[in-house]
């Protein structure tokens, strides 16, 4: 179980999570999400998106206020956009509809929780890339290819790829690149693997088209799937700024790192702290870095969904 440091900020500035719900078991604390279950109920779980933030695999001592609500809101927005053809494991984000959840926690968890079925997780992250960025760009610099797929010469950081590429990874504590052939073996069925690839591309195309209408480029994203009653379902977060790279289209300059709608502000500040060895604890984030990062998350939320989560103010 991943551990989280005690936040250095006050409770009012962001929700760090980790509290006890009477009658429920907090059985996992991830970098962002807390997972709860009702005793005796192995078929459902309660996911709570906190405002915790990690960078370079270290959970920071500060939170980014309302970040968890933004991630939940964006995921719910996209799931509703595709629910007529792509089912999900989630049941509801309404606290009042969660069985046996004490009423005193409804307001506290509103906008953060997802009541979901427990699916049989497929241990492959399906990553799709339309632009060179991050580890993909570094691999291209080394090999001239991506996941063994040869690419044209002369591409730069943020360059568009000739086509959207499928670049899967393992779903583990530290994700490792794998070929699609290896992914097929993990999935266990050529037919199901092809179905996952087709669904992933359709999801990407719909999301990229929606983002483009708002002047935003979806550079890459990842999807996770599970099985429920013999059918494929989406699990975990979907098309959020944590699972995707969104760039303002008018700010992309090939050869440069575009400004992302995510926690890049935090990562850049941490990289500037030359005396930090990238091990816990991380340096304390200045309030202005927290606020700028929060504003970035709120901005992409408004762009993609047309509004902000209930109760969140800019």
pLDDT at 134 over 60: yes
Whole-angstrom distance, CA of residue 314 vs CA of residue 302:
10
Kindly tell me if the per-residue pLDDT of 10 is higher than 60: no
**In the 8-state DSSP scheme, what is residue 100?**
T
> Confidence band (pLDDT; 50, 70, 90) for 173?
low
Q: Would you state the pLDDT for residue 187?
A: 97
Question: What's the pLDDT score for residue 28?
Answer: 96
Residue 88 has φ and ψ, to the nearest 5°, of -130, 165
pLDDT value for 72: 98
User: How far does Cα 92 stand from its chain's mean position?
Assistant: 19
Q: Which residues contact 260 (CB under 8 A, 6 or more apart)?
A: 241, 245, 246, 247
pTM for the model stands at: 0.94
What percentage of residues in the chain have a pLDDT greater than 90? Answer: 92
* Predicted confidence (pLDDT) per residue in 175-209, tens digit: 789 999 999 999 999 999 999 999 999 999 999 99
pLDDT, tens digit, 9 for 90 and up, residues 44-72: 999 999 999 999 999 999 999 999 999 99
> Tell me: the pLDDT tens digits for 115-128?
999 999 999 999 99
Q: Is the pLDDT of residue 12 over 70?
A: no
What local confidence, expressed as pLDDT, does residue 304 receive? 96
Q: Where along the chain do the CATH 3.30.200.20 domains lie?
A: 1-118
Closest C-alpha to 168, from 208, 203, 122, 216: 122
pLDDT tens for 240-261 read 999 999 999 999 999 999 999 9
In the predicted model, is pLDDT for residue 1 greater than 70?
no
Please provide the size of the chain in residues: 314
Determine the CATH number of domain 121-251: 3.30.470.20
Q: Which residue has the higher pLDDT, 227 or 39?
A: 227
Q: Which two tokens stand for residue 105?
A: 């926690």
Q: Which tens digit of pLDDT belongs to each residue from 92-105?
A: 999 999 999 999 99
Q: Determine the CATH number of domain 1-118.
A: 3.30.200.20
| Rg of the chain on CA atoms, in Å | 19
- In degrees rounded to 5, what are phi and psi of residue 246? -110, 130
Closest CA to 251 of 219, 293, 298: 219
CATH 3.30.470.20 residue ranges for the chain: 121-251
> What pLDDT score does 171 carry?
81
What integer is the mean pLDDT of 296-313? 96
């Amino acid at each position: 179980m991943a551990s989280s440091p005690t936040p250095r900020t006050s409770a009012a500035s962001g929700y760090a999570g980790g509290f006890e719900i009477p009658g429920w078991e907090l059985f996992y604390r991830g970098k962002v999400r807390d997972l709860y279950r009702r005793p005796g109920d192995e078929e459902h779980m309660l996911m709570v998106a906190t405002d915790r933030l990690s960078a370079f695999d270290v959970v920071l001592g500060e939170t980014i206020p309302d970040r968890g609500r933004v991630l939940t809101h964006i995921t719910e927005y996209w799931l509703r956009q595709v629910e007529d053809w792509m089912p999900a494991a989630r049941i509801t984000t309404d606290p009042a509809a969660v069985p046996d959840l004490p009423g005193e926690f409804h307001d506290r968890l509103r906008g953060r929780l997802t009541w979901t079925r427990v699916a049989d997780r497929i241990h492959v992250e399906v990553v799709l890339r339309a632009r060179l960025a991050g580890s993909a760009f570094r691999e291209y610099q080394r090999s001239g290819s991506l996941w063994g797929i040869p690419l044209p010469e002369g591409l730069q950081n943020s360059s568009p790829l000739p086509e959207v590429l499928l670049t899967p990874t393992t779903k583990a504590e530290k994700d490792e690149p794998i070929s699609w052939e290896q992914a097929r073996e993990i999935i266990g069925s050529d037919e199901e693997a092809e179905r996952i690839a087709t669904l992933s591309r359709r999801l990407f195309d719909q999301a990229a088209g929606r983002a483009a209408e708002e002047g935003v480029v979806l550079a890459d994203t990842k999807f996770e799937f599970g099985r429920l009653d013999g059918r494929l379902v989406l699990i975990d977060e979907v098309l959020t700024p944590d699972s995707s790279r969104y760039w303002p289209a008018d700010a992309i300059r090939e050869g440069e790192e575009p400004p992302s709608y995510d926690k890049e502000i935090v990562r850049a500040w941490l990289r500037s702290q030359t005396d930090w060895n990238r091990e816990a604890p991380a340096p304390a984030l200045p309030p202005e870095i927290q606020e700028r990062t929060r504003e970035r998350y709120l901005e992409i939320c408004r762009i993609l969904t047309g509004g902000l989560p209930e109760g969140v103010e800019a």
